[in-house]
Structure 1
């Protein structure tokens, strides 16, 4: 699995990259890069490193510059316009798995052992799924740990892929339990 978190523009890009490699990803959702997304990228950079892979067009370059200005030390992967064009549409989602792998190799990604520290059992045990307030608990925990909000399956992946330690996790859970019980 690729150690770094790969930052792409949208959902179709995630699908294309997942066909090529096993990696954690963040989609910025185009130009609307807000503070929440930047904070998530900063957290990913701090924990695992980040590789930005945006479309080979004006918008993609603009997004790349915005991220580069706000998050220091990130790596960059590039696909050519020729590799990303299909039916007049240009983007990472049109690139072949081979093109994506070549771009990531040039960005000098690192490989790490896939972590399986957290499981669905943890989600149930800590009431992060299967309970009436699970959604709120994941939302609060995601903010506390800097991994953002998502469904239970994606939450497990982020906890594992962002390298969240059991100690950090339990400390954050304790804080959330206190807040929710005294809120």
Structure 2
């Protein structure tokens, strides 16, 4: 059983997570978090810790951002968008058990003191911005690093804020180039 409580957006996400792993889950009910939901999440955060596992879409990112500010020591897990898409819908409920387990195996912390290991040069030089396939490359590298898909600016922030090391980054880039 996973020690932390996994915070997801809705009931269908809970069912998908419970099919994949033995864990307790709480829902946000979307972005309109009620005071009741926030109180339950706060209790879980204080007693067991939480893992934020929101949908890989813009609404999920807004919820993740809000929860990150409110619960700064929360852990984060990301299911890649391509692994959470089915029936023209994107969400954790669409992800396979294997994709959920893979995301939970790469849990990251949001650092209190963001690093400055990576800069725009790193993103540009590695083809993660400014080329025709940058978006795809960011998605693949983000999946390998466990930081999810994001636009170039947010991707750079995640590299610096989720404790990614230079070695991990270079290894993910090498694995990407080996697979192409």
Unaligned regions of 5+ residues in structure 2, if any?
110-180
Between the aligned partners of 2:11 and 2:34, the Cα distance in structure 1 is 17
Please give the secondary structure, in 2, of the residue aligned with 1:7.
strand
Instruction: Indicate conservation of the 8 Å contact 1:38/1:70, yes or no.
Output: no
- Trace 1:1-183 onto structure 2 (pairs within 5 A): 1-107=1-107
Between the aligned partners of 2:7 and 2:19, the Cα distance in structure 1 is 15
Q: Which has the larger radius of gyration?
A: 1
TM-score by length of 2: 0.58
Unaligned regions of 5+ residues in structure 1, if any?
110-183
Instruction: Indicate conservation of the 8 Å contact 1:21/1:101, yes or no.
Output: yes
Between the aligned partners of 1:45 and 1:31, the Cα distance in structure 2 is 18
TM-score by length of 1: 0.57
Between the aligned partners of 1:34 and 1:65, the Cα distance in structure 2 is 16
Between the aligned partners of 1:80 and 1:72, the Cα distance in structure 2 is 23
Between the aligned partners of 1:7 and 1:59, the Cα distance in structure 2 is 14
Instruction: Indicate conservation of the 8 Å contact 1:41/1:71, yes or no.
Output: no
Between 1 and 2, higher relative CO (CA 8 Å, sep ≥ 6) is seen in 1
Between the aligned partners of 2:64 and 2:34, the Cα distance in structure 1 is 14
Instruction: Indicate conservation of the 8 Å contact 1:38/1:71, yes or no.
Output: no
| Superposed CA offset, 1:139-171 (max 9, x none) | xxxxxxxxxxxxxxxxxxxxxxxxxxxxxxxxx
Superposition deviation, residue 108 in structure 1: 6.3
Structure 1 ranges of 4+ moved more than 2 A: none
Aligned residues: 109
Please give the secondary structure, in 2, of the residue aligned with 1:32.
coil
